[in-house]
Amino acid sequence: MRVDSDIKLDYQDVLIRPKKQMRTSQTASRSNVDLIRKYKFCNSGNLYEGVPVLAANMSCVGTFTMAKAMAKEWMGVCLNKHYSADQLIDFYKRTKLFGSVFYTIGINNNDLEKLDYVINNLNPAYGRELQFNICVDSANGYLISFEDRIKLLREKYPKATLLVGNVGTPEMVQHLIGAGADIVKVGIGSGSVCTTRLVAGVGYPQLSATIECADAAHGYGGHICSDGGIQCIADICKSFAAGADFVMLGGLLGGHTESEGKWIEDDGNQFLEFFGMSSEHAQEKFNGGLKKYRASEGKCVRIPYKGPVGHTLQQISGGLRSACSYVGADMLKDLSKCTTFIRVNRTHNTIFGDSNG
């Protein structure tokens, strides 16, 4: 046993320090800030172009309707893995959203067989050459079986872009990139409906995890997706400022028209039942109950109805443009280069409540 005494930070521990705009800057207005990122992935060789914000592969927000709404803003979705194979095939054929949508699998063989079936039915002629986005999802990305699954998928589908996770340390990020991952999902215990830190005592503060893992991935030519810890739009800005290539959202997107799940009416108001995918609620809904050897590592909450997601996505884009303009970044790509974080005891004034407006 050893204790790492270095201070690790979360989003609420810092603010982005503003700085004077350079005369060479092209950003006279927030509207001129370019949020589009262009990436070439290190293992698949595929190209990506878009605003790198992703809806999480949770059953409530990783939905077909969310994917179509996000695509209108050049954003993406990791689909939840509980759609049937035929539903997925029909969705891909109708929408053609191959570039902005990730197909999600776990690490069991049934998921792999389902993926094979979907890909073969989308275009049998492609096979190994199909450029397809796959999210390989596990609460514990440190398992040997997880690494083995990534190696298998890289060999089986060399042209597929693999987004894999979750992990929280730079050494494991580099290891997974070496195993065939293109993007590593970073975040342990930081989600709004995750209780891993309460149950298992395991985690890593999300800002520090993002900074350290981004640095490790970029040194290997890879990318990271910061997943979890987002409480408000400012945290998305801080995540990109910390070096994240993608940011994944769960609770912030819950409760919209495009969400799926059980809606509950209480005193004339609508609420969405929102739960973590490692919760007892999710295990009962999708896997026949919580196994005796497992503990629930998630909770179930109610999120009030927020209306169509388009407004929230516009707020996210506006927040990112504003953050860039405050530090003189002409484009989202430059935000991390222009950022200095300052440690604080309080990030904002809460006298009239803690709402994000």
Strand partners, 48: 39
* Cβ neighbours of residue 59 closer than 8 Å, sequence gap 6 or more: 80, 82, 260, 261, 277, 282, 285, 286
* Cβ neighbours of residue 347 closer than 8 Å, sequence gap 6 or more: 12, 14, 15, 234
Q: Scanning the structure block, which residue is given the tokens 């149950």?
A: 199
Active site residue 196: yes
In whole angstroms, what is the distance from residue 123 CA to residue 134 CA? 16
* Cβ neighbours of residue 204 closer than 8 Å, sequence gap 6 or more: 8, 168, 169, 188, 189, 190
Alpha helices, H only, the chain? 64-72, 85-95, 109-122, 144-156, 170-179, 196-199, 206-219, 233-241, 280-286, 309-327, 335-338
| DSSP 8-state secondary structure symbol assigned to residue 43 | T
- Hey, what are 299's tokens? 């909770």
| DSSP 8-state secondary structure symbol assigned to residue 62 | S
- Hey, what are 331's tokens? 């484009």
Active site residue 194: yes
DSSP, residue by residue, 117-141: HHHHHH-TTTGGG---EEEEE-S-T
CA distances to 92, 93, 150 from 135, rounded to whole Å, are 16, 19, 10
Among the listed residues 27, 63, 104, 196, the single catalytic one is: 196
In whole angstroms, what is the distance from residue 317 CA to residue 320 CA? 5
Among the listed residues 60, 78, 135, 194, the single catalytic one is: 194
Instruction: Judge contact between 246 and 183, C-beta under 8 A.
Output: yes
Instruction: Kindly list the catalytic residues.
Output: 194, 196
